[in-house]
Every structure is written in structure tokens, then in C-alpha cells.
Structure 1
Amino acid sequence: MSNVVEEPRLVVRKFLARPQHEGVGAIVRRSIGRFELKYFDPFLVLDEFSVSSPAGFPDHPHRGFETVTYMLQGAMTHEDFEGHKGTIGVGDLQWMTAGRGIVHSEMPASQGTQKGLQLWINLSSKHKMIEPRYQEISGKDIPEATKDGVKVRVIAGESLGTKSPVYTRTPTMYLDFTLNPGSHLHQPIPISWNAFVYVLDGEGIFGNSKSSLVTPHHLLLLGSGDGLEAWNKSSKPLRFVLVGGEPLGEPVVQFGPFVMNSQQEIDRTIEDYENYSNGFEKARHWRSEAMIDPKLSN
């Protein structure tokens, strides 16, 4: 991928992600998946979460999409009815393909406040009913590159000549950038993809050098073009994620944690879940350790 950006994408919409309650006692700042922005093909939800024990996300189902959890502070433990269990800490990544069905829990694994991002990526109709699977990557194994005051962690896709090992069924780029004061970024984006920026720390200028400063917890939808330009004209580091994906262009029908292509498929999914069938068989007798003994989540 060339590092040349000939037609920079401008910011076409900006949202401040405001706190709301999710799960049991957890707080999230939701930017995609709220009433102002229900869907940004292929992205269903973007949450910046903040969780302190005993709050969390106890046993719940998914079907038809992928969840990408990226830890910024603390650690979270994940369990599911397939017997998979693991803990991800600062800088670690879990890319979970729910496919035809999974029931899992996500609970704090340490004291204090756990923070991270969770992105939901839609699956095409041909992939919605595949078997569940995981890609878990330790922070030390996420490729990094640095050039001219710009550092990037390549979670998915490619940047500064560095590629991620993550496989994405829905073609996706997910880049964690830190720009030192005075630095300037040129990042190519496939011209047919949708893309957005979410600011984590600091203040930045995006799309046009004369644009206004953007502060943390803002989501920026990018317009057409072949890449992003960003500037850090402040005295402190700027950190943000750039996420892009190839639109699926398919109907989306969502009922909570189930995302399919038609109401008939949603109705069938609800029946499958309630009857422990067609992918949800193991949900009949499974409970996470955190649900069986809440002390284990502390």
C-alpha cells in the first residue's frame, strides 16, 4: 500500500460519545450503534467501556457478527460455552467471530477500572452462520512501526509498511496511532471503504490543516478520498484509532445481540436461542464461573 494520499478524506460528521449504562453496572461511551448513528457499514457498534468489579458483562449471546475487544487499561476475563477462557490485558486484542452462535461473559480480571474499546463488525450473509472462532493476540505480538514522530500499532491491515497477522472476513483496517507534538500523518485508506476516527487522548486536527481541534471521546466519520491526514499541533501526544472497512451493502436487521439480514432470520435466531438449538445447544447447561461464583470475578 502506497503512503501517498492524493485525495485526503474530510470529516463529514462528528459525534461526542456520551456515557451510558450497559451490561450490569458497566459504563460505555457508544458512538456507533446509538440513535444518531445506528449503522456505519460494516460497523455495528463502537463502545469505549469502563468497568470496575463487580460490574461487567455477564453471560449473554451473539450471532451474525464479530466483536473486537482492545484493552487500554486493566484486564478482562472472557469465558464461553465452548470451554474457551482467557484474560486480555493492556494492549492485548481479542477478535471473536460469533458466527452461528456463542454465549459468553466478559468480566473484570483485576482491581480498579478496566478500560478498552469494543467494536462490532458485521458479517456477510455467507459468513453469518459459520462456526465461532477466536484470534487472541498479546500486546507484544501486535506489530508496531514508527516514522517521523508517528507511532502505529497495526491491529488489522497495514500502515508504515507493517502488516497485521489478523485475518478479517469482512475486509477491515484497525490502526492505533500516537502522534508526537508537531507530527503529521498520511495514512492511505482503500477508496471504496467506509472509515472513521475515534480520539482517545490529546487534541488533533483531521482531514484539513485548518480544521478545528478534536478532543477525546469524539467519533469522526470520514468522507470520500484515498486516505487520512492528521496533525498534532499541540504540546502533548495525540492518540486515536483509525478504523476502515469494506461495506457489505446487505440488509441489516438487528435485535439486541443478534444481527441478521431479515426479520425471518431474527425470529429463527430467537427461537434457536430459546430452544437451545442450531448452534446454541450448549447454552442449556452452561454458566460462566463468574455467574456460578461471583467472587471469582473480583
Structure 2
Amino acid sequence: MLRQHLPLFSSSSSSPIYMALSRLTRQTIMSSSSPSAASVPFESPRKVVKKVLSLSQSEGDGATVRRSIGGHELRNLDPFLLLDEFSVSKPGGFPDHPHRGFETVTYMLHGAFTHQDFSGRKGTIRTGDVQWMTAGRGIVHSEMPASDGVQKGLQLWINLASKDKMIEPRYQELKSKDISQAEKHGVKVRIIAGEAFGVRSPVYTRTPTMYMDFTMQPGSQLHQPILKGWNAFMYIIEGEGVFGKEGAAPASAHHCLVLGAGDGLSVWNLSGAPLRFVLAAGQLLNEPVVQQGLFVMNSRAQIQQAMQDYYYGRNGFEKASQWSSA
């Protein structure tokens, strides 16, 4: 996805990367009618420490995005670089553009998007589908609407460790019917990455990550473990809920909620309508982040190298000058 007019910025924060979700020993979900519903089953429940309302802005070619992570209020949240809720109709979209040094996760909420890249790969993701793209050393692609009406989705950018930034590009794609799901006591979860309610996603996360889509019916509550030491956030798609602790002020659609330290999240839907939100958490990389638009590396010199490689068609961008999307 395009990202225009972004300044160069750095943040210093090294780390092993290994999927450790098996260390989660408790998966608890209780309905509001449970005898122990008032208790929170965590030693250190995570609370909301930052709340960001994502406002609409123009992006790409005639598209609109609501950017929370990656915006002025929340530059990044290691290992997460950007979160966009996008809306676009034909003939708009996100025409040919490059990436290097990170991953993009596109989750379609409504409609369809066709993706093409300079390796000749082409495919369409539809409502409920996921494309997990590792840009690695370099990719040039386009993302364009594939059906009439407004196409909506989420795109999350996940940073890669320095040792992985120049790996070969790869894709993991999941059709909606193949995404792991579970449901208990009025709470349904689609598990894009990680584990919930004892069910695990097949997606491999090079940077250890959990990413889930929860829908909670009125009166339900959720208690979801999150590994200690990981950064975590939620983005509310629709509805209103209480997050982190009972008695907290409700948060509504288009808000990104950053969680503090702890071992789990509790959510209550006290409203009369369904609540839908995504929860993401990831292991910190603790490495310098230097970003220039569509390139994310560890130093300014690496950013300059990426820009030159793209311009001159080398080191992963050899096919760039000879390709354009249909």
C-alpha cells in the first residue's frame, strides 16, 4: 500500500525471534452469566495506556485510509509500523509501488482486491481473506479494487529483524474458509496468527506475532492471554466496548488502543450491539527503525541504498524497470 509524503524518522530501541505462543498456559473465556465473571484471570491484566482516533485521509490513487499506527500520534509500536483501515472504489487504488524491509498483512473486510507484482504473481483476495506478504529485499506491486462498490480492509505493516530484511520475498495467503475460528459464550474469534481458545493459526510469523479478529455479542466478556513483554494493541472496527479494566470509559469504532504491560487482556461488551475489533501483539525487535516512505531499514545508509537499488534496478529490484501492472 502506498504511503506518500512521509518524513524520514528513526527510533532506537535486538532480539531473538522465535514463536513462543506455546508458553500461553491459560485460555479463558467467560460469559457475563458465569459465576466467576467478575474475576479477571490474570496476574497482571493489561490496561489501555494510549487511545488514538484514526481520522480519514487521502492515500494512493483516490483511496481513503484511517491511519492509527504510523500517524503523528503513534509513529510505530515495535514491531508494528503501520495500521490502515482503507476504503477505495474503482478506478482508484494503490498502483505500482515498491517495498523493502518489512511485511504487509492485508485483511479484507468487504469486497475484493487484486494484487500483482513484478515476479508475475497475480491473485485476488475477497471478504475475509488474508494476504501475508514478506517484502524482504524488495518487491514492486499494485493493489487495486476487483469488484464494484467500496472495498474495505485493514493493512498492517510488521517490521523484520535486521537479519531478515534482505530475505527473498514470500507470500502466505488464506481464504476466509481456511482461517482458524473458535466461538465460546457469545465471543467469536478468527485467528489470523497466533492462538486463541486452544485453536492455532497455520500462518508462520517470522517476527513473532498474534493477530485476531474478535466479534463479541452484547453482554459477553473476553479474557485473552498475551505473552508478557510483547507490545499489543486493538483496533475497533464496529461497536463499543470496555477494554482493560471494568469501569473504564468505553471506546468505539476507529479507535486504536495501545495496551500496557501484563499477561492478558479483558474486554466487556456492555452495549446493546455487537462489538468487533482486531487484537495484535508482537515480540519487540529492539532495533533502530529508519523509515522513508515504503522502505524500512536500520540506518540512513541502508535507506539510501534501498532507494538507489530501486532506481537502478538491482539487489532485488532487477525486474522493476521492465514491469508495470496490467
When the two structures are superposed, what TM-score results if normalisation uses the length of structure 1? 0.96
Give SS of 2:188's match: strand
In the alignment, is residue 122 of structure 1 matched against residue 159 of structure 2?
yes
Q: CA RMSD in A?
A: 0.6
**2:239 match:** 202
In the alignment, is residue 27 of structure 1 matched against residue 64 of structure 2?
yes
Give SS of 2:68's match: strand
**2:18 match:** none
Partner deviation per Cα, 1:226-268 (whole Å, 9 max, x = no partner): 0100000111110000000001000000010000000010011
Distance in 1, matches of 2:44 and 2:293, equals: 38
Query: Which of 190, 194, 197 lines up with 1:160 in the alignment?
Result: 197
Query: Which of 243, 252, 267 lines up with 1:230 in the alignment?
Result: 267
Matches within 5 A, 1:244-263: 244-263=281-300
Partner deviation per Cα, 1:104-151 (whole Å, 9 max, x = no partner): 000000000000000000000000000000000000000100011111
**2:209 match:** 172
**1:295 match:** none
**1:193 match:** 230
**2:15 match:** none
When the two structures are superposed, what TM-score results if normalisation uses the length of structure 2? 0.88
Higher RCO (Cα < 8 Å, 6 or more apart): 2
Check the 8 A contact 1:13/1:220 in 2, yes or no.
yes
Counterpart AA for 2:269: N
In the alignment, is residue 66 of structure 1 matched against residue 103 of structure 2?
yes
In the alignment, is residue 45 of structure 1 matched against residue 77 of structure 2?
no
Distance in 2, matches of 1:169 and 1:43, equals: 13
**2:146 match:** 109
Distance in 1, matches of 2:161 and 2:191, equals: 24
Counterpart AA for 1:65: F
Check the 8 A contact 1:176/1:241 in 2, yes or no.
yes
1:7: how far off? 1.6
1:209: how far off? 1.0
Query: Which of 107, 118, 125 lines up with 1:88 in the alignment?
Result: 125
Q: Flag as ranges the 4+ runs of structure 1 deviating above 6 A.
A: none
1:284: how far off? 1.3
In the alignment, is residue 143 of structure 1 matched against residue 180 of structure 2?
yes
**1:79 match:** 116
1:5: how far off? 2.5
Q: Give me the identity figure in percent.
A: 66
Counterpart AA for 1:25: G
Partner deviation per Cα, 1:3-54 (whole Å, 9 max, x = no partner): 2433210000101000011101100000000111111100000000000111
Check the 8 A contact 1:5/1:187 in 2, yes or no.
no
**1:276 match:** 313
In the alignment, is residue 267 of structure 1 matched against residue 313 of structure 2?
no
Give SS of 2:302's match: helix
Alignment gaps of 5+ in structure 2: 1-23, 28-40
Partner deviation per Cα, 1:82-102 (whole Å, 9 max, x = no partner): 111000000000000000000
Distance in 2, matches of 1:6 and 1:283, equals: 51
Alignment gaps of 5+ in structure 1: 290-298
Give SS of 1:281's match: coil
Give SS of 1:32's match: coil
Distance in 2, matches of 1:17 and 1:203, equals: 15
